[in-house]
Structure 1
Amino acid sequence: MAPKAYSFEVLNVYPHDPAAFTQGLYYDNGTLYETTGRLGESTLRKVDLATGEVLERADMAGDEFGEGMTVVGDRMYVLTWENNRGHIYDKRSFKQLGSFDYQKSTKGWGLTHDGNRFIKSDGTSRLYFLDPENLTETGSIEVFDDNGSVDSINELEFIDGKVYANLYHGDRDEIVIINPETGVIEGKINFVGLYDGKRAPYDNEMNGIAYKPDTKTLLLTGKLWSKLYEVRLKER
């Protein structure tokens, strides 16, 4: 069965740091938490949603390329791309508390939490499940639609039992909705045309999904985008 198609309505547009190579995004009680990438530039940030102001930040090591992140309780969990390692930070102090290694997958792309376990992507067509205590990989599942497996699964957000994922497909700006129990892509949203700002000639992909539960809306941005959008999905 073909995935359900959605359209969207833009409710608000917020400023976003145009120098932020966004890799992960999470909304928590009026505040955004964001990770940025690139060697020597990777950061973990606390950002004011309304103004885009960076309220706090932690710089990652110069040899680390920051990737996806999520927040669970008073801790922030951040992936790196090719170092085979993630880090744990205190949400209040931004101090690093510890690290964890990847086992079966070799890269870190996206990370989310479903209330019981972590779910991680590595740029392939698989989602990996991580133990909630020690973050060891306990299993994985193939992601597919009616045409077969779908790779380049990137930034993740868990919303109402489903995993929303950016696809790393250049300027196609597409998000898919995945059933984490079966791997089936149940929905697709084409966001081409959402970003009306100046776009870098490369490394300009839509990346960053955060859920705003009080309004049941999505917060979306991209790498080096100067804007962040609040949107509501609509079934076609």
Structure 2
Amino acid sequence: MRLVNSLAITILAIILFSCNGSNKGTSSHFSLQIEGKKKSFQENDTLIPALKTPNSSLLSKVEYSIDGTVLPSDGKTVVLQHVKLGKQQLKASFVYDGTSESITHPIEIFAEKAPEVYTYTILKEYPHDRNAYTQGLEFLNDTLYESIGQRGKSALRKVDYRTGEILKETKLSDIYFGEGITILNNRIYQLTWEENVGFIYDLHTLEKTGQFSYQQSREGWGLCTDGTQFYKSDGTEKIWTLDANTLEEKEYIQLASNKALFSRANELEWVDGLIYANTYGKDGIMIINPKNGAIVGVIDCRGLKEKVTQHPYIDVLNGIAYHPERKTFFITGKNWDKLFEVTFHKK
């Protein structure tokens, strides 16, 4: 098991991009520390908090929580159970001399286990427009939809994946850089990169019917849906959840292995309760638990880029779409002339 975990971390470090909290309270008379001054933990770890007050006999009803989730505690120890990963604030809520108080302490929480390592098997190759700077792929039934990036070239397309023929296309204004897409309730949702706006299209005509703005997220990168809400990456370690009706950004998860935080999740795809994410600039795909941000798997896609026609404008792996009837994945890259139908399996 240790060998498998070491292999997972090694490959994760190679093909993904790693990215890397002072006591804050209502009164300077209180302080919150953790035994051993430890700052980093893993999910389900037990820690021993030390809540300092001027007079401990006046202290009562201590409760510890993270992001609103109350943590199991026996009065002396606290268990990091059912928490989101990443940079968090451990909050102590207590009553002191009859007055409710609270104080926080920054910690980092990583995944409990190392990610599983996967590789791919190519089932079939299809033609793909080598001039397409692929930003997003999405299947609906047997039809492939594709978002193309770069200013002056950005577009939304309906494509026959078997032949590579563009069946319908809507171009974006030259000021926009197209990014990820997803489909919900007969509408296509498309992000743009730095313009702080996303577009909504009619599924059948590809005519633009509306738009929405980002609120807290930095940029637009990848987008997917579980059928009830959206998940949006912004280039940082965060993936935001958006309300399906208002497109309001509600909260976020942070992507973490058992060792570090990871950023640059690009194209997103929702499959069987998990998020698959291309990692910009790397030949890898993360498999993410959307509840807490844990990277539960990493797919080593090295070697695919060498199988397409090499030319001066060829760029990185990007574009992942799941075909639910065939139960296969379709992946490509920016300015690649091939679309690969693949399956993933553990190494």
The TM tier, using the shorter chain, reads over 0.9
The one of 243, 246, 253 aligned to 1:141: 253
- Secondary structure, in 3 states, of the residue corresponding to 1:20? coil
Letter in 1 for 2:285: I
- Structure 1 residue matching 2:123: 3-state secondary structure: strand
Q: Does 1:99 align with 2:211?
A: yes
Kindly indicate whether structure 1 or structure 2 has the higher relative contact order, using CA contacts under 8 Å at least 6 residues apart.
1
- Correspondence for 1:174: 284
**2:275 equivalent to 1:157:** no
Distance 2:152 2:120 in 1: 36
* Deviation of the 1:203 alpha carbon: 6.3
C-alpha distance after superposition, 1:36-70 (max 9, x if no partner): 00001000000001000000000001100000000
1:71-95 CA distance string (max 9 Å, x none): 1121000000000000000011111
Q: Which residue of 2 aligns with 1:219?
A: 330
Question: How far apart in 1 are the matches of 2:209 and 2:310?
Answer: 36
What are the within-5 Å matches in structure 2 for residues 72-111 of structure 1? Answer: 72-111=184-223
Alignment partners' CA distance in 2, 1:33 and 1:20: 12
Q: Distance in 2 between matches of 1:102 and 1:187?
A: 29
Match of 1:192 in 2: 302
Shift of 1:147: 1.9
TM-score by length of 1: 0.97
Pairs within 5 Å for 1:32-47: 32-47=144-159
Is 1:13 aligned to 2:125, yes or no?
yes
Q: Which runs of 5+ in 1 are unaligned?
A: none
Give the ranges of 4+ consecutive aligned residues of structure 1 lying more than 6 Å apart after TM superposition. Answer: none
Report the counterpart of residue 234 of structure 1 in structure 2.
345
Question: Gaps (5+ residues) in structure 2?
Answer: 1-112
Q: Distance in 1 between matches of 2:314 and 2:308?
A: 15
Identity %, equivalent residues? 46
Q: State the match for 2:46 in structure 1.
A: none
Tell which deviates more after alignment, 226-235 or 202-211.
Answer: 202-211
CA contact (8 A) 2:314 2:336 kept: no
Distance 1:63 1:203 in 2: 23
Rounded Cα–Cα distance in structure 2 between residues aligned with 1:179 and 1:202? 34
Higher gyration radius (CA): 2
Q: Deviations over 1:100-146 (max 9, x none)?
A: 00000121000000111000001111100000101010001110112
TM-score by length of 2: 0.66
In structure 1, distance between residues paired with 2:344 and 2:278: 15
Shift, 1:182, TM fit: 0.9
Listed one character per residue, the Cα deviations across residues 193-212 of structure 1 (whole Å, up to 9, x for unaligned) are 02311345566111111001
Separation in 2, partners of 1:192, 1:139: 33
Higher helix residue share: 2
* CA–CA distance in structure 2, aligned partners of residues 217 and 202 of structure 1: 28
Distance 1:29 1:158 in 2: 15
CA distance in 2, matches of 1:24, 1:133: 21
The amino acid that maps onto 1:219 is: F
Question: Is the partner of 2:298 in helix, strand or coil?
Answer: strand
- Report the Cα distance in structure 1 between the residues aligned to 2:228 and 2:147, rounded to whole angstroms: 23
Counterpart code for 1:142: Q
Q: Give distance in 2, aligned partners of 1:199 and 1:35.
A: 22
Distance (whole Å) between structure 2 residues aligned to residue 189 and residue 60 of structure 1: 32
- After superposition, the CA RMSD in angstroms is 1.1
State the one-letter code of the partner of 1:104.
Answer: Q
Q: Output the CA distance in 1 between the equivalents of 2:115 and 2:174.
A: 41
Deviates more, 1:193-202 or 1:58-67: 193-202
Matching residue's letter, 1:221? T
Distance 2:313 2:258 in 1: 30
